[in-house]
Amino acid sequence: MSEETFTYRAENGNTCEIVDTFAEMFPLWAGRVLITADSERWALAAAATTTGFATSVIMSPAEAGIEGVVPADKTPDKRVGVSVQIYNRNRFELKNQMILRIGQCIMTCPTASAFNAMPNAKRKLKVGRSIRLFGDGFQKKGLIGNRKVWRIPVMEGEFIVEDAFGAAKAIAGGNFLILAKGKSSGLKAAEEAVKAIKGKASEVILPFPGGICRSGSKAGSLKYKLKASTSHSFCPRLKKVVPDSQLPENVNCVYEIVINGLTLEAVKRAMGEGVRAAASVLGVIRISAGNYGGKLGPYKAFLKEVLEIT
């Protein structure tokens, strides 16, 4: 392999190779929903359901994830909240997904309400105004603070949803690859990366299960008419089968961390926190990132840059 690498020493003294490369990112439209409920349990239940089947727009109808818990003193109705982000290719598809997910996953959840968590966005989607029709003519306009909401009668009492939700172009596809000696060390490193990102970064989501993807893809296929197929260059079992393997001999497991965020800076910060955490785990041989030579998207995050190495 001809990739240039540099040695990175983690805070705990562990060292691993970092490939001198970049993650290639692209724009998607994003919406942000604040779900409130009588308890954190039910806010999280609504959030988990709302962000289901939304890992990648390659095959899923959206990309979505839980951003974090919001304390009651920071929400419009003074109840505990959970913020989620939903992404799609254009704002029309995004609006449709927000209507479906809020209507099917938040309105149905005990005690939950849905508010716009992107109030400064110039573009507004009439999401709540569409969902109001479920009230069958019994719905009522209302105000919570200065927010225009709809009060929709349901069997529990009422479902409150904000009239319009902000939408803006955001960043998708931030990523890094953890190349490890084995599955146990690789998974531990990926889990530590997710923990660091969730604990130290903001305005980002990790759309894959538990924040980790084990089946990274490449664009297209060598054999079939597919949008994407397995990233064969990073499959350990194909090291001696394919001529373009990117794996050292002692790497037997690869995990990918994918990050979407509201800004490029937020994604870069999250990448840095994740890489630093992963590099501290014994058994991590190398850390790299996925790109298509700059042909996929207009945004780049170099690993040296996110680690603040000059």
- Per residue of the chain (310 residues), give pLDDT as tens: 468 999 999 999 999 999 999 999 999 999 999 999 999 999 999 999 999 999 999 999 999 999 999 999 999 999 999 999 999 999 999 999 999 999 999 999 999 999 999 999 999 999 999 999 999 999 999 999 999 999 999 999 999 999 999 999 999 999 999 999 999 999 999 999 999 999 999 999 999 999 999 999 998 999 999 999 999 999 999 999 999 999 999 999 999 999 999 999 999 999 999 999 999 999 999 999 999 877 778 999 999 999 998 6
Same domain, 295 and 269: yes
Spatial CA neighbour of 36 closest among 75, 86, 85: 75
Q: Do residues 162 and 145 lie in contact, with contact meaning Cβ atoms separated by under 8 Å?
A: no
Q: Do residues 24 and 174 lie in contact, with contact meaning Cβ atoms separated by under 8 Å?
A: no
Same domain, 35 and 127: yes
Counting the structural domains of the chain, the total is 2
Domain that holds residue 163: 28-168
* pLDDT computed for residue 296 by the predictor: 77
Boundary-marking domain end, from 137, 168, 199: 168
* pLDDT computed for residue 309 by the predictor: 84
Boundary-marking domain end, from 102, 133, 168: 168
Same domain, 106 and 181: no
Same domain, 44 and 151: yes
* pLDDT computed for residue 310 by the predictor: 63
How many residues are there in the chain? 310
> What are the φ/ψ torsions at residue 140 (nearest 5 degrees)?
-130, 145
Q: What is the CATH number of the domain that holds 220?
A: 3.30.70.520
Boundary-marking domain end, from 140, 168, 196: 168
**Alpha-carbon distance 52 to 122, whole Å?**
27
